[in-house]
Amino acid sequence: MARSIAFRDALREAMSEEMRRDERVFLMGEEVAEYNGAYKVSQGMLAEFGAKRIIDTPIAELGFTAVGVGAAQNGLRPVVEFMTWNFAVLALDQILNTASKMLAMSGGQISCPIVFRGGNGSAGQLGAQHSTAFEAMYANIPGIKVVSPSNGYDAKGLLKQAIRYEEDPVMFMESEQMYGDKMEIPEEEYYIELGKADVKRKGTDVTIVSFNKMMKVALGAAAELEKEGISAEVIDLRTIRPLDWKTILESVKKTNRLVIVEEQWPFASVSSEISYVIQKEGFDYLDAPIRRITAADAPLHYAPNLVAAALPSIERTVKLVKEVMYLKK
Amino acid sequence: MASKFSKETYLYWYELMQLIRQFELIAEEKYKMEGKIRGFFHAYIGQEAIAAGCMTATKPDDKFITAYRDHGLAIAKGVSVDSCMAELYGKATGCAKGKGGSMHFFGKKENFFGGHGIVGAQIGTGTGLAFAEKYNGTDNVVLCYFGDGAARQGILHESFNLAMLWKLPVIYICENNNYAMGTSVERTSNVVDIYKLADGYEMPADQLDGMHPETVHEGVARAVKRAREGGGPTLLEIKTYRYKGHSISDPQKYRTKEEVDEYKAKDPIALVRDVILNNKFAAEKDLEAIDKRVDDIVNASVKFAEESPWPNDDEVLKDIYVDQNYPFIVD
């Protein structure tokens, strides 16, 4: 039986189900307990699990991240919530220099099974310091995995997988703008393996790859293109690291054209990596250059028109698809 | 003067301190004379009494975590001398399979959690180790070591705050050897008594003489007792001195030879030796027998390291993920 629940509810169900299963799992972060979550993801969890396992922290990202990382090394399975990934930059030392490298530095002795999660990327007119999308930066780091789901169904399955089965640090990137999105989600438990992209829409003329909330742009563009008789296949990466490029390649073999839509800054972005691997593995299948739409190569400004101008849009995606198809307009 | 500590304790301290010192002296020789050890190398020489006193004040299940000056504490915790020397040589038989080097010794089964290279980062990670002990309801404590330089990092304050807020069983041990690389304590802060940093968090604190295992043991034992009983953390500033430079490449122009000699006159190993002889815990020849045993262990570790194989090249992509099927990007 499925019922319609919000993205935030799906995340909560994922955490709660895993916490009921495993005493070692706990949730820590700013405002996760008594405030019921800055974005209400953890609403009601304090009441169910108590203060030992749903833990409010002071505003000290480096400190509580370090506590999570140390706790994971010493047998627990923490879920650490960042109010936004923008604040996690303060904790990057613990993620990059400790968590991601611990297994390697210790010659395989000390692992760090921990999930970091929170809102990521732009979320309206929040100004430069609350609007960065971090998938590409974290995806650069060996030793960790990076997940960035686009809907509640995927988010729940992926988060459950990360908490229960992943023994390596997982960066789980959500979006403040998707927390309210509703979707039919089964009542039965399910898990989704990390590292598997998902074809969200079948098509034959062009492949559009995206992830997180930019999937709305990709799917919106595909719907527009359909009206004009263009059949776009839309692939949702779901996991950024490891990257499931084989699913993209299989699609490109069929469509011979690839457009990537993402909210990263352009330099060394997710689209850069995809473009490299697809030109290498699929050179003979390409009928046009691989093209992309990223966020503008600038901090995100405040004014609404500047936000719109800086981020990918359905309009620009439709136009770019037509370019790679060598169509007029 | 009669000793409060037993013959067995003193002989243990003596042997452990000699083992740490002789290990490092021969390792330094292999570094400087033969080039068989490379990378950053930070000697513990002069600070051995801290390791000794901490060992007798704790039990094997207690966790230790420290910075990059880690040889002494790893050996104290029981990480094998062979595997420590092999790690310095970068060999597959090292305590981190040749992947860590001098700064990253680890021994999970010995409860030695490293070996960390970012100044101060382990203060936070160690706080997390203690969080897990409390969460699991054990009576284990964590000894979390850092230098006077690390005392100026922000992570110290966030960690102190959280450890006091949650009453975590962690003993913060500032091994104050008076120099953050080449910068003396006086040149890093208005607050030169580092134990006073605990005051901002109403954390119990103490300042100890680190040149004698007795004083270290007593101060650490008080803190450990408090932590085991649920009383939360303590900051111990242990005043010590490193005879060697910050690292092997340090020309030490920031201090005088006279200053170093002054501390060498208070050498902790000589001091323990005197107590043993004065109390007739052992005779000269017994101590010589210990010295001989230590030399044998250390020399054997060099032979072990030299005869051990390098890691296989395919180890480059091993121990990166627990996930054995991780699809690495290879070209």
Bond from prior residue into B147 cis (ω within 30 degrees of 0): no
Out of A41-55, A159-173, B252-266, pick the least confident. B252-266
Please compute the mean of the pLDDT values over residues A145-174 and round it to a whole number: 98
The structure tokens listed for A167 are 């023994």
Q: Label residue A328 by pLDDT band (50, 70, 90).
A: confident
pLDDT of A4 over the 70 cut: yes
- Residue A6 host element (H or E): strand A2-6
Q: Is A109 on the interface with B (CB under 8 A)?
A: yes
Q: Are B221 and B22 in contact (CB under 8 A)?
A: no
The whole-number average pLDDT for the span A201-222 is 98
Most A CBs within 10 Å, among B68, B111, B131, B317, to test the A interface = B131
Split at pLDDT 50, 70, 90, the class of A329 is low
d(CA A73, CA A70): 5
Q: Are strands A2-6 and A182-186 parallel, antiparallel or unpaired?
A: antiparallel
For the question of whether the overall pTM of this predicted structure is more than 0.95, the answer is yes
Assign domain A2-186 to its CATH architecture.
3-Layer(aba) Sandwich (3.40)
What are the start-end ranges of the E strands in A16-159? 25-29, 54-56, 77-84, 115-119, 145-147
On chain B, the residues whose CB falls within 8 A of the CB of A93 are 118, 121, 155
On the question of a common fold for A2-186 and A198-324, the answer reads yes
For helices B48-56 and B7-32, the axis angle rounded to 10 degrees is: 140
Q: What is the pLDDT of residue B249?
A: 87
Angle at B148 between CA B147 and CA B154, to 5 degrees: 95
Q: Which of B107, B113, B159 sits opposite A66 (nearest CB)?
A: B159
Residue spans per domain, chain A: 2-186, 198-324
Distances (CA, A) of A93 to B24, B35, B285: 30, 32, 51
Strands A145-147 and A239-241: antiparallel
Residue A223: pLDDT above 80? yes
* Structural domain spans, chain B: 7-315
Comparing CB atoms, the residue among B99, B116, B158 nearest residue A63 is: B158
**B51-74 burial, b if ≥16 CB within 10 A, otherwise e?**
bbbbbbbbeeebbbbbbbbbbbbb
- Are residues B33 and B85 in contact, defined by beta-carbon separation less than 8 angstroms? no
In this prediction, the answer to ipTM > 0.90 reads yes
pLDDT of residue B113: 98
Distance from CA of B108 to the nearest CA of A (A): 6
The yes-or-no answer on residue A301 being catalytic is: no
- CA A216 to chain CA centroid, nearest Å: 13
**The pLDDT of residue B263:** 87
Spatial separation of the C-alpha atoms in residues B266 and B65, rounded to whole Å: 27
Q: What size, in residues, is chain B?
A: 331
Which of B125, B127, B156, B170 is the best substitution to test chain A (most A C-beta atoms within 10 A)?
B125
Token code pair at residue A10: 């799906």
Interface of B with A in 152-171 (CB under 8 A): 154-155, 157-159, 161-162, 165
Q: Which residues pair with B184 in a beta bridge?
A: B179
Q: What is the pLDDT of residue B246?
A: 87
Give contacts of B 129-148 with A, CB under 8 A. 129-133, 135-136
Q: Are A207 and A232 in contact (CB under 8 A)?
A: yes
Q: What pLDDT was estimated at residue A207?
A: 98
Sheet containing strand A145-147, edge to edge, reads A54-56, A25-29, A77-84, A115-119, A170-174, A145-147, A239-241
Mean pLDDT of A138-160: 98
Q: Give bridge partners of residue B183 from the DSSP assignment.
A: B180
Torsions phi, psi of B90, nearest 5?
A: 75, 30
Contact B125 A73 (CB under 8 A): yes
- Give the model's pLDDT for residue B1: 53
Report how far residue B216's alpha carbon sits from residue B53's, in angstroms, rounded to the nearest whole number: 5
d(CA A240, CA A236): 10
Span A1-6, average pLDDT: 93
Take residue A16 and report the two structure tokens written for it.
């709660």
- Encode burial over A132-145: b for 16+ CB neighbours within 10 A, e otherwise: bbbbbbbbebebbb
CA A324 to CA B13: how far, in whole Å?
75
Element (DSSP H or E) covering residue A307: helix A304-310
Q: Domain B7-315, what architecture? A: 3-Layer(aba) Sandwich (3.40)
Q: Is there a contact between A62 and A93 (Cβ–Cβ < 8 Å)?
A: yes
DSSP B230-257: T---EEEEEE---SS-SSTT---TTS-H
Residue A308 token pair: 């719109």
Q: What is the pLDDT along chain B (331 residues), one digit of tens a residue?
A: 567 899 999 999 999 999 999 999 999 999 999 999 999 999 999 999 999 999 999 999 999 999 999 999 999 999 999 999 999 999 999 999 999 999 999 999 999 999 999 999 999 999 999 999 999 999 999 999 999 999 999 999 999 999 999 999 999 999 999 999 999 999 999 999 999 999 999 999 999 999 999 999 999 999 999 999 999 999 999 999 998 888 888 889 999 999 889 888 889 999 999 999 999 999 999 999 999 999 999 999 999 999 999 999 999 999 999 999 999 999 9
| pLDDT band for position A208 (cuts 50, 70, 90) | very high
Residue A309 in this model has a pLDDT that exceeds 70: yes
Q: What is the mean pLDDT of residues A21-32?
A: 98
For residue A195, the tally of other CB atoms under 10 A from its CB is 18
Q: Given the DSSP bridges, would you call strands A115-119 and A206-210 parallel, antiparallel or unpaired?
A: unpaired
Strand partners, A182: A6
Q: In the numeric block, which tokens belong to residue A123?
A: 């979320």
How many inter-chain contacts (A to B, CB under 8 Å) are there? 152
Alpha-carbon separation of residue A170 from A113, A118, A278, A298, B160 (angstroms) = 8, 12, 25, 27, 27
Smallest Cβ–Cβ distance between A70 and the set B97, B117, B131 belongs to B131
Q: Which of B57, B89, B54 is nearest to B74 (CA)?
A: B54
Which tokens go with B171? Answer: 């003993």
B125 and A60 in contact by Cβ < 8 A?
Answer: no
Q: How far apart are CA A70 and CA A63, in angstroms?
A: 11
Q: CB neighbours of B29 closer than 8 A, spacing ≥ 6?
A: none
Third-level CATH fold of A198-324: Rossmann fold (3.40.50)
Q: Could you tell me if B67 and B5 are in contact, meaning their C-beta atoms sit under 8 angstroms apart?
A: no
Of B161, B323, B328, the CB nearest to A60: B161
